[in-house]
Chain A
Amino acid sequence: MADLDAFRQQTRAWLDENCPPSMRKPITKESDQCWGGRNFTFESNDQKLWLERMAAKGWTAPDWPSEYGGGGLSQEEHKVLREELARISARPALSSFGVWMIGPAILKFGSEELKRQHLPAIVRGEIRWCQGYSEPGAGSDLAGLQTRAVDEGDHYIVNGQKIWTSYADKADWMFCLVRTNPDAKKQLGITLVLFDMATPGVSTKPIKLISGNSPFCESFLDDVRVEKSQVVGEINAGWTIAKYLLTHEREMIGGMGRTASGQKTLSQVAVECIGLDGGKLADDMLRGEIVRWDLDAAAFALTAERVLDEAKSGQGVGAASAMLKYYGTELNKRRQELLVALHGSDGLVWEGEAHREGAIPRNWLRSKGNSIEGGTTEVQLNVISRNILGLQ
């Protein structure tokens, strides 16, 4: 405990000195988020500095082993770091599918060579990753994927099409599920491979969404050469890793239900938008709805914390990620609906600098996808009822 207090003091002092003041302001627009990668344009020098300083400590991936560039922190220390970052409302130094998803999978399933090749670059934010999972014919039924990888000795030749590859047009590498054995039962013939997006035969096309933005792409793979050294885990055992990654993805998307560090709380926004009357929000009906959301959000944040604490002490509820994903995404959708309502007609303005280029309605529309991506709400409810409750 004394060690942890000392760590807290050191962390606080370090952050005080190293987190630029502009990185302690709420994220208000897309470019405030730092994704890193070969082609990333930093919005400010502070953004670049903040990434470099955090990466040098390994704190962009705080709980990864330090030999691969991570922070090497224990879970308790990691929690302290999160709390200290939240205390000063620090923006995340790096948003990264590498840190959130493929990194943990490489750590758990990958060869030593893969770890040394990929993990340090992820920590430093040098390589931006995208996920090649869904296909036009394989959405909720992901295991039905058809992208073929034909064995050519030391490499595969991959052909197929991926969809909903997030930011594939900006990504440097893809982690991709491919079918290596077309004759096996569908879950048993899948392998997880990694390849550079600059490899000949890889092309991407952004998909325009209802929000008017294009965070997702279609990716076309035509005779793409993938080295066998870039297989994560065993050949034909990719489904296990895919499920592990989906769990991570669910937790990440579910995390949206929590108010992120540096984000204004819904009740703060409500006070700004409609004001107080006698210490209470000036609109009774909205106040009631905001409180309902706030209670759920507070209890949800405590649940995410409890699930972590239980996992640490070895008593975890197995399929908690499905519950967190389900509840967190529904919560975020409710939050976005309330934000639109709070802003009234201002919340529906689509363009113009005065309205941050329509950030409010665009975020609201984007949030509709939260309960579809990473396994729909209905799939999560199936998982809970079958795997946890035994209803079938």
Chain B
Amino acid sequence: MSALVLNEEQQMLKDAAKRFMVESAPVSQLRALRDNNDETGFSRELWQSMVEMGFVGTLVPEQLGGSQFGYVGMGQISEQAGRNLSASPLISTAVGGVAALLLAGSSEQQQALLPKVAAGELLLALAVDETPRHNPAQVGTRLEAQGDGLVLNGRKQFVVDGHVADKLIVSARSSGADSEREGITLLLVDRTAAGVRVERTSMADSRNAAVVTFDDVKVAATDLLGEAGKGFAALELTLDVVNAQLAAELLGLSLESFERTVAYLLERKQFGVTLSTFQGLQHRCAHLFSELELVKSAVLKALMALDAGADDASMQVSLAKAKASEVAELATNEALQMHGGMGMTDEFDIGLFMKRARCVQALFGDFRYHANRFASLKGY
């Protein structure tokens, strides 16, 4: 059991990510993208800089053009992205896409695609959910034999970066009933393939998501990631990897809203004194501080468990995502309340943190989903 602290290299990566996000991907960038109704939803230039910084290839093996820095390393980048509400395809491509290829793809597929991902030439998106609430085993999208090939039919939603991804990683059913774990296949589909319809959904956090419909889309056997019907285990592991990073992002945005709120209390005066002198507010801040300390520990543990390939990694990830979601909700709600009327204005950033928090919470399972999973994994 290694110590629950960052090593020197991870600390350096954290510092570099911190500087980078503040300078190159601040909250004002997200605001500008939103106000200009940007069609891409992120800055392509920023994505290139992230490639140059090595962020995009953090999880990619060295021999395939990445830095293979591990989940703890990636978590430091996600946390800083959370602090700055940095809009980019890091989660969809550098985390979800790369993890799916590493966990389910053949070495040919990895060699063909991962170097392109690390070089910023290929965007990926996970098309998993079919219902408004996350339920990865609920797969009605069908992959069926037709002639000498396969065809895909179905509908996916909350596909983050789905409208810009070059390739979609889709969970589809080859056999079995709609909610069975058996019979699920993972496959790659080109976004521009015939029969794929992508509709961008405008979300509360001004970030990217899409509804994707597959209408008799032709699929080659070489596009399957792993064996047909045996994809659920790899999907679950992929989702663990993504959820650990989402937990890190939630930690970052919770810490940032908290620190901004403490600064506001120290500055805002009412009744002739700063708000920071009121015990009613002090104690709520102290409680939130304590909760945030718990989130820090849970997130770091989950990232380390994934790096170590620990047996209880899934449980640690659900602990981290559940706790990070619960506390992000508290942190952003408290931040808004303590900013008073200013918190309700679009001009203040606090509302943006709250909106992003709810989207990250909901993506791939919120507090309730992961609390339930945690209990199930513990046998109750």
A305 & B286 in contact (Cβ 8 Å cutoff) = no
Residues of chain A within 8 A of B5, CB atoms compared: 306, 309-310, 313, 315
Closest A residue, CB atoms, query B262: A389
Closest B residue, CB atoms, query A279: B376
* B positions within 8 Å CB-CB of A: 1, 3-5, 262, 265-266, 276-277, 279, 281-283, 285-287, 289-290, 293-298, 300-301, 319, 322-323, 326, 371-372, 374-376, 378-380
Can you name 17 A-B pairs with beta carbons within 8 Å? A267-B380, A270-B380, A279-B376, A290-B375, A290-B380, A292-B371, A295-B319, A296-B323, A299-B298, A302-B301, A303-B296, A305-B4, A312-B3, A323-B289, A382-B282, A389-B285, A390-B266
> In the complex, A312 Cα to B380 Cα: how many Å?
36
- Greatest chain A CB density within 10 A among B1, B282, B294 is at B294
Secondary structure class of chain A's binding surface, majority of residues: helix
Q: Does A138 contact B (CB under 8 A)?
A: no
Known contacts A270-B380, A303-B293; can you find 16 more A-B pairs with CB under 8 A? Answer: A267-B379, A276-B380, A279-B376, A280-B380, A291-B374, A295-B323, A296-B294, A299-B298, A299-B323, A302-B300, A323-B290, A323-B293, A326-B290, A378-B283, A385-B283, A391-B281
B319 & A298 in contact (Cβ 8 Å cutoff) = yes
- Greatest chain B CB density within 10 A among A271, A294, A312 is at A294
> In the complex, A309 Cα to B283 Cα: how many Å?
27
A267 & B294 in contact (Cβ 8 Å cutoff) = no
- Greatest chain B CB density within 10 A among A290, A320, A389, A392 is at A389
Residues of chain B within 8 A of A270, CB atoms compared: 380
Shortest beta-carbon distance, B27 to chain A, in Å?
Answer: 22
Q: Does A106 contact B (CB under 8 A)?
A: no
Residues of chain B within 8 A of A279, CB atoms compared: 376, 379-380
> In the complex, A287 Cα to B379 Cα: how many Å?
12
Q: Does A190 contact B (CB under 8 A)?
A: no
Closest A residue, CB atoms, query B295: A299
Secondary structure class of chain B's binding surface, majority of residues: helix
Q: Does A327 contact B (CB under 8 A)?
A: yes
Residues of chain A within 8 A of B3, CB atoms compared: 309, 312-313
A302-340 at interface with B (beta carbon < 8 Å):
302-303, 305-306, 309-310, 312-313, 315, 317, 320, 323, 326-327
A377-392 at interface with B (beta carbon < 8 Å):
378, 380-382, 384-386, 388-392
> In the complex, A296 Cα to B285 Cα: how many Å?
18
Residues of chain B within 8 A of A294, CB atoms compared: 374-375, 378
> In the complex, A391 Cα to B378 Cα: how many Å?
40
Q: Does A359 contact B (CB under 8 A)?
A: no
> In the complex, A6 Cα to B290 Cα: how many Å?
37
> In the complex, A380 Cα to B287 Cα: how many Å?
10
B289 & A384 in contact (Cβ 8 Å cutoff) = yes
Return the contact of B282 from the options A271, A310, A327, A391 (Cβ within 8 A). Answer: A391
A392 & B319 in contact (Cβ 8 Å cutoff) = no
